[in-house]
Amino acid sequence: MGPSLARLPRAEDNMGPDQQMQARLSGISTRWSLVLDAHRDTADQRREAQRVLLLRYCGAVYRYIRGAVRDEDVAEVLTQEFALRFVRGDFHRASQGKGRFRDFLRVALQNLVTDHFRSRRRKPPAQILDDAAQLPAPEPEGWASDAEFIQRWRQELLDKTWEALAEEEQRTGTPYHTVLRWRAENPEAQVAGLAEQLSRERGRPFTEAGIRQTLHRAREKYADLLVEEVAGSLENADADRLEEELIELELLAYCRSALARRGTKGG
């Protein structure tokens, strides 16, 4: 797709920033699933597991590239390029000796974005102006730091956990996501207000005591789901590796009790 096509009016132009992000991620996920399905020509379980993870964390890929190139349209094109390179096996050396998918992802993304900036520098100035009507932005200094990638990866895991909690609420009918999100957004508010609001919205009574109990269970449920989300991003999710990963992501403080419950279930 040429740059001129990227500037055509789109439905998302009338959306708010959050809606635009979700629309882009939805489109990326759909296209990636088609690309990955078309390249299922290997029986290698590790490669298949990485394909599943790649599709699941396309949001992290897009956000990280967007932060590096500072252009939403370029970021969307590069996320598609990333998927194509992945299925071609271009990143087969990216995770030498690494046991975490995010290590593989970080190195592969660094390579992709570095190639992008190098190719822009190689273009003659006239071609650059014809293609984009502007000179390329300088390569952001320090964009590839481990700390920045870990921060984006951590946020992706938290977002996925919120999604999982919302699915749990839909499945069970218990307002786990509603009460925990409310508390996160209103840390000083009185529980009585939420009890009244839910009673009106759902047509059944909610008491302060009931909301407090649901809030406690929602925190536990969120922590359990977060631990499972992190475990799912590791090729080897034994107890020691999982705890190390939570420490590095600065999530252990939220997950100690969930780790204990997980250990009990596994024992």
Which residue do the tokens 């399905």 mark? Answer: 37
- Burial class of residue 34 in the structure, from the number of CB atoms within 10 Å of its CB (0-12 exposed, 13-18 middle, 19+ buried): exposed
59 lies in the same domain as 166: no
| Distance (Å, whole) CA 188 – CA 184 | 9
1: tokens are 């797709």
163 with 51, same domain: the answer is no
Return the residue matching tokens 């069970």. Answer: 172
Nearest to 36 by CA among 59, 53, 19, 17: 53
Shared domain for 46 and 153, answered yes or no, is: no
Task: Check whether residue 17 and residue 81 sit in a common domain.
Answer: yes
User: Vertex 126, ends 122 and 132: CA angle to 5°?
Assistant: 85
Closest CA to 233 of 100, 55, 48: 100
Choose one of 114, 141, 168: the last residue of a domain. 141
Q: Which of 141, 174, 200 is the last residue of a domain?
A: 141
Q: How much is the pLDDT for 92? A: 62
Assess whether 152 and 232 both reside in one domain. Answer: yes
DSSP 100: B
Burial of 109 (0-12, 13-18, 19+ CB in 10 A): buried
Structure tokens at 125: 């100035």
Dihedral class, residue 157 (left if φ above 0, else alpha if ψ from -120 to 50, else beta): alpha
The pLDDT value recorded for residue 123 is 55
Task: Determine phi and psi for 16, rounding to 5 degrees.
Answer: -75, 170
Whether the model clears a pTM of 0.85, i.e. scores above it, the answer is: no
Are 132 and 12 members of one domain? yes
Structural domain harbouring 254: 147-266
- Residues 66 and 113 reside in one and the same domain: yes
The residue type found at 82 is: F
Per-residue pLDDT of the chain (267 residues; tens, 9 = 90+): 333 223 323 333 444 555 555 555 454 444 444 444 544 555 565 566 666 767 777 788 888 888 888 888 898 889 888 888 777 777 666 544 455 778 777 888 888 888 888 887 765 554 444 444 443 444 444 444 677 788 888 988 999 899 999 999 999 999 999 999 999 999 999 999 999 999 999 999 999 999 999 999 999 999 999 999 998 877 667 888 899 999 999 999 989 999 999 876 644
The token pair that represents 170 in the structure block: 């839909």
Query: Are residue 126 and residue 211 in the same domain, yes or no?
Result: no
Same-domain check for residues 78 and 92: yes
Question: 129 and 244 share a domain?
Answer: no
Specify the number of domains making up the chain.
Answer: 2
- 51 and 157 housed in the same domain: no
Identify whether residues 112 and 167 lie together within a single domain: no
Please identify, among 111, 141, 171, the residue that sits at the C-terminal boundary of a domain. Answer: 141
